[in-house]
Amino acid sequence: PRCFALVPCAGVGERAGVGGPKQYHPVAGQAVVAHTLSSLQRVPELEATLVVLSPTDTQFEQHVPGFESERGWVARVGGATRAESVLNGLNELMERGVGAHDWVLVHDAARCLLQPAHVQALIAACEDDEVGGLLALPLADTLKDAVADDAGLRVRATVDRSGKWAAQTPQMFRLGLLRPALLQALSDPETAAQITDEASAIERIGHQPRLVPGAYENFKVTWPGDFSLAERLLHPR
């Protein structure tokens, strides 16, 4: 089986608060997604990378000029949620001849500090697996369950963090397993809201994805302060 990357890049970046999609905000002289894609292009195990854009995207070509090539594919099929964007991207991969047994590595456009070694560690850990897996980190901080009161938030309880991991991407599954898993999860609006990564859809159909230790720097640019953190990691002083 071959390995392909699928990069959902159709979000609006509401939490980042930069007045536009965060994937096009500059970090160290380049758009966030330009860093992400150049990391993926340095992974020789990947046959090609498909980027899923919003149908109304006007910025990708300007920030990643000349991306479309033999190993760089673009599809304007982004949906209302990340899971829909990924499912639409999987359909596009099928149309381009990717088979049910081929691996698809889904990676957030907003994780721009990915290193080729992280991807290679995931591939090495999963390529002989039945199901696949994901990069993740064991939780470092103590976890609190919050409850609202008139003045703001209070701690209801401390959640036992032992055995708890924070999911990252890439998440690597066979196209023939991930597509029906997402289709099923998205068919019910109540469960659809809980599908915030690929692994959660795979778990819902009864499989146990492999957890592969990721790296702290492979964080997702999410909040306003994350751009300068990413910048310092890319250009240490």
Provide the 8-state DSSP code for 97: T
Count of residues touching ligand CTP (by CB under 6 A) = 22
- Does residue number 85 form part of the binding site for ligand CTP (CB under 6 A)? yes
Q: Are 49 and 41 in contact (CB under 8 A)?
A: yes
CB 13 within 8 A of CB 20: yes
Among 78, 170, 209, 214, which residue interacts with ligand CTP (rule: CB under 6 A)? 78
Whole-number minimum distance, CB 157 to ligand CTP, in Å?
26
Burial class (CB in 10 A: 0-12, 13-18, 19+), 184: middle
Q: Does 10 bind ligand CTP (CB under 6 A)?
A: yes
Phi-psi category of 165—alpha, beta or left, where left has phi over 0 and alpha has psi -120 to 50?
beta
Q: How far is the CB of 48 from ligand CTP (least distance, A)?
A: 18
Q: Which stretch binds ligand CTP (CB under 6 A): 6-14, 56-64, 178-186, 224-232?
A: 6-14
11 touching ligand CTP, by CB under 6 A:
yes
Which residues are CB-neighbours of 132 under 8 A, at least 6 positions away? Answer: 103, 126, 171, 172, 173, 174, 177, 178, 202, 209, 210
Nearer to ligand CTP, 60 or 103 (CB): 60
CB atoms near residue 177 (< 10 Å): 21
Q: Is 170 in the site for ligand CTP (CB under 6 A)?
A: no
Instruction: Verify binding: residue 82, ligand CTP, rule CB under 6 A.
Output: yes
Q: Any contact of residue 59 with ligand CTP (CB under 6 A)? A: no
Contact residues: ligand CTP, CB under 6 A: 8-16, 23, 52, 78-82, 85, 108-110, 220, 222
